[in-house]
Structure 1
Amino acid sequence: MSAEPMPHADRGDPVHGQDPAEPDPVPDRQLIAMVRAGETAAFAELFIRHRAVAGFVARAEADNQSDAADLVGEAFAVVFQAMVQGKGPTESFKPYLLTTIRRMAHRRNRQARGQAQSTDALQPGTRQSLGTQTMPLYESSVLVQAFWSLPERWQEVLWLVEVEDLKPAAVSRLMELNPNAVSSLLVRAREGFRQAYLQLHVAEAASPACRSVSGRLGKFARHGLPATTELKIRRHLAGCPGCSAALAELTGIESSMSRAPIRTRKYGPRSGRSLRSP
């Protein structure tokens, strides 16, 4: 099956159905649905809306600045092909696009440096074998994995608030939500990020009984489970030294979260923007 060509980003495209100066653009989620349903011309509007931030992230992530334009074009093409095949984003376009750009940039950077090992290869199970010099790299990888594991809307609100440092009013407009809804979504996203970050520090247990507990320790440590489930886990912990030790480790990590922010990315040589530890 040959790849379908992307539509041209032309403001005169009939997909807009309105004067481009009108204040009520079609929401991203509606454009996504149109592309996934076969109305591929709708992708032109998504390209126009997000090419600026895509270029910014590509320039920040690429070691070779001359690669930035190619990264943007390739990323849009990859996302477009995914969408016409019924894959890719379903609600939030920008987080998916930017994640694609970052992955492509990191792959190019690794190839250019000739490095066989990458941060993507770091898994929680390798934590005990890492030296002290590698630990910051490991923690950065865990933060990124935790972020990517979140639902699209949680990724979007965290990105806009924590990385782009936008004001609530701007986030409300971009996400097409009222300020109260943005605040509520941000609270849930931050808590989900904390739980995911903790969970990635838990090694997979050997026994089935322990796996059912260890897979929920991140939420348990943050009191994010129903009372009945929490009671079952407490009973298991009372008789399981292994799971108790894993929980004790998470408790120590949680207590250090607010005291030791971890830098995961640097957006440009003079920028201190990053996704901080939960």
Structure 2
Amino acid sequence: MDARNKLWNRLIHISQQVNSPWLVGGDFNCIISTFEKSGGRTPNRMLVNDAWFNHFLLTFVTHLSLAGSDHRPILISITSTDNYSSPLPFRYLNMWAAHPSYSNYIVDLWKGVSHPDPLVQLSLLQIKIAKALRGWSWNTFGNVNATVQKAEDEVKALENGGQLGIEEEKKLLIAQNNLLSVIDYQEKFLKQKATMNIFTDGDRNTRFFHAYIKYKRKCNTIQDIQNANGQWLHNNNDITNDVISTLRHEKAHFMAELNYTAGLKLTDIPTEKEIWNAINSIDNSKSTSPDGFTAEFYKKS
């Protein structure tokens, strides 16, 4: 146990001293859960730091079959993010509603679009608002993390400026209030991107949020799938075509759901109270459809 503690303490020390990307792997003789303790063996594993994921997010580890040893060989695959590049979909950020100018800005955006079909009108409004909010967000918030750093530097510069007179005290107070505001925006931004709902009040562990966001991005990436014939597909186009083909030929799997929903009278026009109750029942950070607008958008806009 002492030797193991020394090893982990040494790794912690190294991780704090090395800022560049690093990866280390092997038999650390430890398990995360009892599930990993299979057949008296502990799995080999790989450890990386934040800098590694910043450069090589799509790093995957495969434990190969046993061959002449009681340890499984480890295969590390580093996939270029270029293979997964695509236009970023619109995502409404709840921090926008906290800005003083948001309410007046969004009111004007709801105007100027009309269509006899209300669903089409809503869709056209969503397209218009999404495009406008992208530009407004960048002009108003910019890079959230960089804005926080800039505000912190401004406060430090004023605090280290020596003797403060009345005017300097006013400037420092304004800078501190601005820092608190941008920190609040950053917290809302990171919490939503991390898609986490439970936090300790006052928690501002941004490093944790960044790490969790990277973890979620990695988990949301499909590296390979096994098709109906047992063949593993690794190419993005092959995966896409197989999914489309499967859905086209498996309509029978959805018949039970179709029969159930047919009896729910979903074509009946809901009352305003029913609509409002449905919206309020949704978590603020959740989207009801792929359009990217969260429930908070409809509650506050």
TM-score greater than 0.5 by the shorter chain = no
Q: Answer 1 or 2: which has greater strand percent.
A: 2
TM-score normalized with structure 2 length? 0.21
Larger radius of gyration: 2
